[in-house]
């Protein structure tokens, strides 16, 4: 009996000693994580960034937020972890994302005695925050089919990011020459002469939101009425009602853009505080845009430069083909945040006006039909967005694949119907109009 008790006692001692060497499954250990930002980036550590530790065995997650020095302390149980962080910030119309991960961080019972610093290197990447979602510019058939009506133009800007977008210094411009067809005198040996200079021409004027610019919430839009901020459907049933109180009209008669066909007095529903300001330096009483091969770009002036001071600086002016009526200003490409270029379907000599650094492709277009140029959906990103399950509408039918030279959204999703259904849409943004847009049979604002 005494021998049996001795054996049991020894076994208990051995078990106790063994358990002392095992990790307590309920004990937590503080892991200090420091986020390291790229050298030379305009962004540095900030408070409030979520840092997550995911257990690679049981997938349990623990999280904390950084302090002002970019340091977070996570209380985790023993195990092996992948520690990651993600954040998005905004700079001059661009959404700047930071991703970082440190894999294989092993936390054991020895962590308290010998805690190891965990440094997570944050990788910086840029994505356009504000994009051109839609351009309706080519006009629609008149009621009796005798011709077309083209004074009902608009553009939709969209915040394609998860953070607020400030439109204060955003400007809307077009290149010169107006059309993709015809001789383009900017080409020298088959290359645009300004390509190596990293700039693009803004033709005869541009528009800006000014001090009353809206703040665009994530994945929301603003409509800019380029011409005809009234209910045009009262005269032409195939047209668009552009009298909505939320719209922002290009209306500034004092600038010299005072052609009343283009710029009738906007609907009284629209507050005057929402009128865009024109910066006119070319000839003519209207901001002439191509209806057959439209091209637009949006840019934001950097710190220290305002739309007004850029306008007043005459050193950046140039005459296209030495024509006084074709004055333009050079906009540095690093100011440009988005662009779209249309080519006229059926033309034999289409040539790009925007360099590849701004837009590497083109979208075929037909005017006078009521068609618009509409952004394609990033299907993978949109389907993965939290909360979109059951809200996305498939079976998109407003593409123009049945038209010679026409296109459609390859995602097969209906953006407008999905938005009405409560979904969040993330649009394609590859810096290439060929990939990013299609020709839509009906303007999205048409009821």
- Answer yes or no: is pLDDT of 7 > 60: no
pLDDT of residue 226: 98
pLDDT in tens, 58-73: 878 899 999 999 999 9
pLDDT of residue 17: 41
CA distance 413 to 376: 9
pLDDT of residue 357: 92
- Answer yes or no: is pLDDT of 313 > 90: yes
- CA dihedral defined by 288, 360, 402, 226, rounded to 10 degrees? -20
pLDDT in tens, 263-295: 999 999 999 999 999 999 999 999 999 999 999
> Could you give the angle at the alpha carbon of 135 between the alpha carbons of 130 and 141, nearest 5°?
165
pLDDT-derived band at 6 (thresholds 50, 70, 90) equals very low
CA distance 135 to 205: 18
pLDDT-derived band at 18 (thresholds 50, 70, 90) equals very low
Which of 113-117, 201-205, 238-242 shows the lowest mean pLDDT across its residues?
113-117
Give how far Cα 295 sits from Cα of 117, 118, 132, 179, Å: 52, 49, 11, 8
pLDDT-derived band at 112 (thresholds 50, 70, 90) equals confident
- Residue in the block written with tokens 């054996």: 7
Q: Which residues of 360-392 are buried (b: 16+ CB within 10 A; e: fewer)?
A: bbbbbbbbbbbbbbbbbbbbebbeebeebeebb
pLDDT of residue 127: 67
- Answer yes or no: is pLDDT of 98 > 90: no
Q: Tell me which residue of 99, 232, 66, 85 sits closest to 154, measured CA to CA.
A: 232
Task: Write down the pTM of the prediction.
Answer: 0.81
Neighbours of 230 (CB within 10 A): 22
Averaged pLDDT score across all residues of the chain: 91
pLDDT-derived band at 124 (thresholds 50, 70, 90) equals confident
pLDDT in tens, 32-62: 999 999 998 888 999 999 999 988 778 788 9
pLDDT of residue 388: 96
pLDDT in tens, 125-140: 676 799 999 999 999 9
- Answer yes or no: is pLDDT of 10 > 80: no
- Answer yes or no: is pLDDT of 111 > 50: yes
Q: What is the mean pLDDT of residues 360-366?
A: 95
pLDDT in tens, 379-423: 999 999 999 999 999 999 999 999 999 999 999 999 999 999 999
- Answer yes or no: is pLDDT of 19 > 70: no
- Residue in the block written with tokens 């023993």: 78
Give how far Cα 142 sits from Cα of 12, 194, 225, 286, 325, Å: 96, 40, 20, 22, 31
Give the domains, in start order, of the chain with CATH numbers. Answer: 28-127 (2.60.40.10), 129-376+427-440 (no CATH)
- Answer yes or no: is pLDDT of 348 > 90: no
């Amino acid at each position: 009996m005494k021998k049996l008790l001795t054996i049991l006692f020894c076994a208990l001692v051995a078990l106790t000693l063994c358990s002392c060497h095992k990790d307590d499954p309920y004990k937590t250990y503080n892991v200090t994580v420091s986020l390291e930002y790229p050298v030379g980036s305009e962004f540095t550590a900030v408070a409030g960034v979520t840092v997550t530790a995911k257990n690679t065995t049981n997938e349990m997650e623990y999280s904390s937020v950084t302090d002002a020095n970019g340091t977070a302390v996570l209380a985790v149980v023993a195990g092996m972890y992948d520690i990651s962080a993600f954040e998005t910030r905004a700079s001059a119309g661009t959404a700047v994302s930071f991703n970082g991960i440190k894999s294989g961080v092993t936390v054991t019972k020895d962590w308290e005695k010998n805690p190891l610093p965990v440094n997570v290197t944050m990788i910086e990447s840029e994505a356009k925050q504000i994009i051109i979602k839609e351009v309706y510019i080519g006009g629609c058939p008149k009621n009796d089919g005798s011709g077309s009506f083209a004074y009902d133009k608009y553009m939709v800007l969209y915040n394609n990011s998860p953070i607020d977008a400030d439109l204060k210094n955003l400007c809307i411009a077009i290149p010169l020459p107006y059309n993709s067809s015809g001789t383009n005198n900017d080409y020298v040996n088959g290359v645009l002469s300004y390509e190596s200079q990293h700039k693009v021409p803004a033709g005869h004027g541009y528009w800006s939101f000014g001090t009353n610019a809206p703040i665009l919430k994530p994945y929301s839009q603003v409509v800019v009425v380029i011409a005809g901020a009234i209910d045009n459907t009262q005269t032409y049933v195939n047209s668009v009602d552009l009298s909505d109180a939320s719209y922002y009209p290009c209306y500034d008669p004092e600038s010299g853009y005072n052609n009343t066909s283009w710029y009738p007095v906007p609907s009284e529903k629209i507050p005057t505080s929402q009128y865009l300001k024109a910066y006119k330096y070319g000839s003519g009483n209207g901001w002439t845009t191509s209806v057959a091969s439209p091209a637009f770009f949006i840019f934001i002036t950097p710190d220290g430069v305002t739309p007004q001071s850029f306008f007043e600086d005459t050193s950046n002016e140039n005459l296209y083909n030495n024509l006084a009526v074709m004055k333009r200003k050079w906009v540095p490409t690093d100011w440009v945040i988005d662009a779209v270029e249309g080519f006229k379907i059926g033309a034999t000599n289409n040539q790009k006006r925007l360099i590849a650094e701004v837009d590497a492709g083109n979208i075929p277009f037909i005017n006078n039909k009521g068609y618009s140029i509409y952004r394609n959906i990033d299907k993978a990103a949109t389907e993965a967005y939290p909360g979109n399950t059951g809200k996305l509408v498939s079976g998109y039918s407003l593409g123009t694949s049945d038209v010679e030279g026409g296109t459609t959204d390859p995602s097969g999703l209906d953006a407008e119907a999905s938005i009405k259904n409560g979904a969040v849409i993330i649009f394609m943004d590859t810096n290439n109009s060929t990939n990013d847009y299609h020709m839509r049979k009906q303007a999205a604002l048409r009821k």
